[in-house]
Homo-oligomer: A and B are copies of this chain.
Amino acid sequence: MQLHLSTWAEVETYLQSSKGVILPIGSTEQHGPNGLVGTDAICAEVIARGVGDATGALVGPTIPVGMAVHHMEFPGSMTLKPSTLIALLRDYVGSLVEHGFERFFFVNGHGGNIATVRAAFYEIHAEQRALKGRSGPDLRFTLVSWWENAEIGRLSREFYQGKEGSHATPSEVSLTQYAYPDAIKTVAMEPEQAPAGGFHDARDFRRRYPDGRIGSAPGLASPEHGKQLYDAAVGAIAAQYRSFLAES
């Protein structure tokens, strides 16, 4: 059930049986030669909606722009400053708390969001406690990155045999190819697998990884892989969502 495709009365009805909501969060940033700028938002959105379909959970609007300060040397990359993203999450959650939501399950498409989103959870806990005292609602948050489960790990190893890398990966490119087959890009890449490593700021990132990839061989991506990765992620994360709601 998508919030954007529901009426307010349908949401009112939903709240009679669940206090849970799924919120996809992505990023708008370079994803190498053949990856889409919207890769992380697309992955988070399609998987979150799949999990919503599988579990009956309400899925809120996708946060399309995340924390991508380190990608800013590549045209098209957009970022919220961490402090802005924290404010946005505070407002999103605060809005939903007004209606009675208490369980916030974020489906994440971008590693760069993790620290800031986790910081935001505590910012929200602190603010809600300040406003409502110790008798406020029992709010719970979790952030699940779609690739952090055994099923995806297994498929990635099977498909890419050590060429997954950590940015602009064949897995995420495959997922977007499955979701948007009309937007598949064919681009020659040299070398096939990019160098791996860490980075500091945006300039350092571009200096080390001039085409935007880190350790990956996204030329191996295919929409067929994407379909299998999608199914695996939805299955794994649907189970995590159910556990999250069931937690005492």
Contact B38 A61 (CB under 8 A): yes
Chain B residues within an 8 Å CB radius of A203: 134, 138
Q: Which residues from chain B contact A63 at a C-beta distance below 8 Å?
A: 64
Please determine whether B36 and A7 come into contact, CB atoms closer than 8 angstroms. Answer: yes
Count identical subunits in the complex.
6
Residues of A within 8 A of B (CB-CB), count:
88
User: A131 contacts which chain B residues (CB < 8 A)?
Assistant: 130-131
Inter-subunit contact B123/A82 (CB<8 Å):
yes
Which residues of A pack against B, CB within 8 Å?
Answer: 2-12, 15, 28, 30-38, 41-42, 60-65, 67, 69-70, 72-84, 86-88, 90-92, 94-96, 98-100, 112, 114-116, 118-120, 122-123, 125-127, 129-131, 134, 138-141, 180, 183, 185, 187, 200-204, 212
Contact of A115 among B7, B8, B116, B134 (CB under 8 A): B116
Cross-chain pairs A/B with CB under 8 angstroms, 28 sampled: A5-B38, A7-B30, A7-B33, A7-B76, A9-B187, A62-B64, A65-B91, A65-B92, A69-B126, A75-B99, A79-B91, A81-B123, A81-B126, A82-B126, A83-B87, A83-B123, A86-B119, A94-B130, A112-B122, A114-B115, A115-B122, A116-B122, A125-B201, A125-B202, A130-B131, A134-B203, A140-B204, A141-B200
